[in-house]
Structure 1
Amino acid sequence: MNGTQTTPFAVSPTIAAVKRRLRRGLAWLHLWVGLTVGSIFALNGVAGSVLVFHTDLLRWQHPELIAHKPHADPVVLEQLVAQWAPRGVRSIDLPKPELPVWQAYFANGERAYFAPEDGALLLQRAPDNDVLMWLHEWHVALLAHDSGKQVLGVIGWVSLGLLVSGLYLWWPKPGRWRSHLRVHTHPPVRRWVTWHRSGGALLLPLLLLATVTGVGMVYGKGFHAVFTAALGGAVPTLPKLKGAPDEVDWNRVLERAHHALPGARLSRVSMPKPDSRVISFRARAAGEWHPNGRSEVHVDAAGTRVLDVFDATAQAAGARASAALYPLHIGVVGGSAARWVTAIVGLLPMFLLVTGFLFWRRRTGH
């Protein structure tokens, strides 16, 4: 048979050349986007690694916060609401074993901590006077409030693209898996490229989990809508009961709320709205991953009846998946081992940035 023989699966030289050009273009894009946008991604990851131990570090910095018994006294809560709600407090965490004080959240991002026995102010924190608070604001909003959150969301999507493109560039041909996973020590250019590629490929599932859950929190409403549309689930609604809550019976309200969801722990109370007689609580039902829970209890201001209960554990899979984003992101699912793994994963983007930079520097002779 005359002429050049070809196999049914042969790739024409033209197609092969196009694939090589596309691959070179993707590698160039991966490099420069990684060195620019990837730098912010890496710094954000380092901040997240520290924040995994936020409460532990806070307890270590301020031992006065843990020298108490976790008791939610309704008289103290009434005093705190009367004194601090007009000053911008939006919600207050009830004392709990890991942080046995009242923790108040202000509209401007500050936090305050009060003794559970008498409501005495123990500590006030803000991003401009507390390193952990500064890291928190950087991690969730790049120190730029709502606009920073939107920028961070875009960076999150770009970072997902970096991870996927890196996997594509690394993906070996059949029979070459072992060589692609091998890590070399010399020469330096080969060391840095194998550390970068092999490290990224082996730890990609953890990196994807951290990045996807982070993006999911930035676009929480959108992710929740997608999850519930696909897998079911409801959105908690705030009952309406108009009238100024001038006479809130906090003793009866707390008692009623405690018994509204058996087995749950009340975790947070929202400040009463001026035109509503509804007192709203966050609660952590048995089996919830979220440290504060996603369940809700709503009681009338007089404490005479429970208006509504939202049990997050009774929801369909979509709502439960949406509620799992935050606890998975911060590493509270799986005990202390999961927290350490989450902290290490937060350092991986910086590792990939440094090894990628060193590889580029060695290869180009800079």
Structure 2
Amino acid sequence: MLPRQAISTSSAWRFRSVLKWLHLWLGLSAGLVFAVVSLTGTLLAFQSELLLAAHPELQRERLPPLALQGHALARVVAEAEDRGIRSIDLPSSRLPAWQAFADKGERHYFDAANGEPLLVRSPGNDAVLWLRDLHTHLLSGEAGEQVLGASGIVALFMLLSGLYLWWPRLAALAASLRWHAAPPARRWLSWHRSLGVLLLPLLLVVTSTGVAIVYSQPFRSALRWTFADGPEVVPPLPIEREAAFIDWQAVLLAAADAAPRGSDLRRISLPKDDALVSIRFRAPGEWHPNGRSVVWVDPYRASAMQVHDATAQDAGARISEAMYPLHGGFVGGRAWQWAIAAAGLLPAFLLATGFLFWRARRRRH
């Protein structure tokens, strides 16, 4: 009869062998999707810079103050119905033009000062938007997004299993991080392990936030339950449409007055089933580039109906809303933006070194 310690060692060896097999073959298959999506994320970390470089007509040295933006907004709204526009971003230092979102992924751009049409982009005519569609939906709509979410979960398993397989004794820590030049199998394995371990925290943040974005509703519900958050925000009751003229300058000023001091109006959602206009703003302290705070305005009377300040939410909601800015590199300035870009290169490096290690080992045997 085998001693208990021998049985335990044998079980641990079997478990480790199975884990190695899964880590290898999942990495060589699902790792390809992970690498492609991550590489597109590296480019998208600089999507605003790429847009302005490709279309210098969008740039302006000075932005008009909010008190003078009503005329330009009125002109953009007048174009909304014919162009299928649903929402409009106000000009900002990051993108000094009106950016309007329309059907089929189209984006329309208008001059910040007078609302004159400047540019129309879509995944069909713009490489950056095509890459964005690949990154967020694998060019396949909702079905692609679900595949992306499953790939993200597999990627998390690969990262954590790789950490488990690498984990050394304390005395061997320095040796386990050393890069070797030869033989080939040892070279690729040492490069794969050492760089993967050193940048693992960053890659875990990027991957886990990406999965949280895909499964945002269950993730948010789980966080609200965990932190015992209060009820979800309920918008005000709808109002009926009227034939009255809408003074868009007054609407903007009413929203600015209702928002907390120091807030930045960011995105206007045009009325759908009712006549209320909702305007997202970025309150002081918010990480999201467009903010998650909202003010609902009666456009006919230019009066704020209700204000939702995202910074006053409970912990679960605030953690949930931190996922996108962390994932996209919108918080922490240039340092975090470059860190996100660097993290996007790592999966391709791990895929390549993992494949080269597998091939070198097969040749040796």
TM above 0.5, yes or no, is: yes
CA distance in 2, matches of 1:217, 1:266: 24
CA distance in 2, matches of 1:364, 1:70: 61
CA offsets 1:37-57 (integer angstroms, 9 cap, x no match): 010001100000010000011
Deviation at 1:118, TM superposition (A): 2.5
* Residue of structure 2 equivalent to 1:98: 94
Partner of 1:158: 154
> Which 4+ residue blocks in structure 1 deviate beyond 4 angstroms?
none
Aligned partners of 1:160 and 1:211 also within 8 Å: yes
Query: Structure 1 residue 233: deviation in Å?
Result: 5.2
Pairing of 1:70-109 with structure 2 (within 5 A)? 70-71=63-64, 73-109=69-105
Tell me what 1:45 maps to. Answer: 38
* Residues 298 and 306 in structure 1, CA contact (< 8 A), matched pair in contact too: yes
- Structure 1 residues 301 and 121, CA gap change in structure 2 (3 angstroms): same
The answer for the alignment partner of 1:244 in structure 2 is 241
Gaps of 5+ in 2: none
What is the rounded CA distance, in whole Å, between the counterparts of 1:304 and 1:91 in structure 2?
A: 18
Q: Which amino acid aligns with 1:271?
A: L
- The 5-angstrom pairing of residues 9-20 of structure 1 reads 12-20=5-13
Mapping 1:1-366, distance limit 5 Å? 12-67=5-60, 69-71=62-64, 73-231=69-227, 232=229, 235-247=232-244, 248-261=246-259, 262-273=261-272, 275-365=273-363
185-194 or 224-233, larger mean C-alpha shift: 224-233
Q: CA deviation at 1:218?
A: 0.6
Q: What is the DSSP-based 3-state SS (H/G/I as helix, E as strand, rest coil) of the residue aligned with 1:240?
A: coil
Q: Give 1:245 deviation, angstroms.
A: 4.8
Change (3 A) 1:299 1:118: same
**Are the counterparts in 2 of residues 234 and 319 from structure 1 also a CA contact under 8 Å?**
no
Structure 1 residues 57-111: Cα deviation after superposition (integer angstroms, max 9, x where no partner): 1111111000363235222222222222343211000111221111011121111
1:283-340: CA deviation from partner (whole Å, max 9, x where unpaired): 0011111111111011112134211101111112211111110111111221111111
Give the drift of 1:174. Answer: 4.6
Greater mean alpha carbon deviation, residues 113-122 or residues 351-360: 113-122
| Number of positions where the alignment pairs a residue of Structure 1 with one of Structure 2 | 358
Q: Aligned equivalents of 2:104 and 2:61: distance in 1?
A: 27
Instruction: Look up the SS of the partner of 1:299 in the other structure.
Output: strand
Task: Decide whether the 8 Å contact of 2:247 with 2:302 is kept in 1.
Answer: no
The aligned amino acid for 2:118 is L
Moved more, 85-94 or 57-66: 85-94
Deviations 1:121-175 (A, max 9, x none): 1111111111100110011110111111111111111111111111111111353
The verdict on how the C-alpha distance between 1:49 and 1:234 changes in structure 2, with shifts beyond 3 A counting, is farther
Counterpart AA for 1:53: F
Root-mean-square deviation over aligned CA pairs:
1.9
In structure 2, give the amino acid aligned to 1:38. Answer: G
Paired-residue identity, %: 47
Deviation at 1:363? 0.5
Q: Secondary structure at the match of 1:79?
A: helix
For 1:108 and 1:236, the matched residues in 2 are separated by: 29
CA distance, structure 1, for counterparts of residue 43 and residue 231 of structure 2? 34
Partners of 1:309 and 1:346 in 2: how far apart?
A: 37
Greater alpha carbon shift after TM alignment, 298-307 vs 65-74: 65-74
Residues 68 and 116 in structure 1, CA contact (< 8 A), matched pair in contact too: no
Distance in structure 1 (CA, Å) of the matches to 2:361 and 2:77: 62
How far did 1:222 drift? 1.5
Q: Supply the distance in 1 between the matched residues of 2:118 and 2:214 (Cα, whole angstroms).
A: 32
User: Structure 1: any 5+ residue segments left out of the alignment?
Assistant: none
Shift of 1:219: 1.0
Work out the CA distance in 2 between the residues paired with 1:299 and 1:76: 19
Aligned mates of 1:32, 1:304 — CA distance in 2: 60
State whether residues 23 and 161 of structure 2, in contact with CA within 8 Å, keep that contact through their aligned partners in structure 1: yes
Code of the residue aligned with 1:132 in structure 2: it is: V
Q: TM-score, normalised by structure 2?
A: 0.93
> Structure 1 counterpart of 2:39, which letter?
V
Distance across 1 between alignment mates of 2:232 and 2:177: 45
The 1:113/1:197 distance shift into structure 2, 3 A limit, reads: same
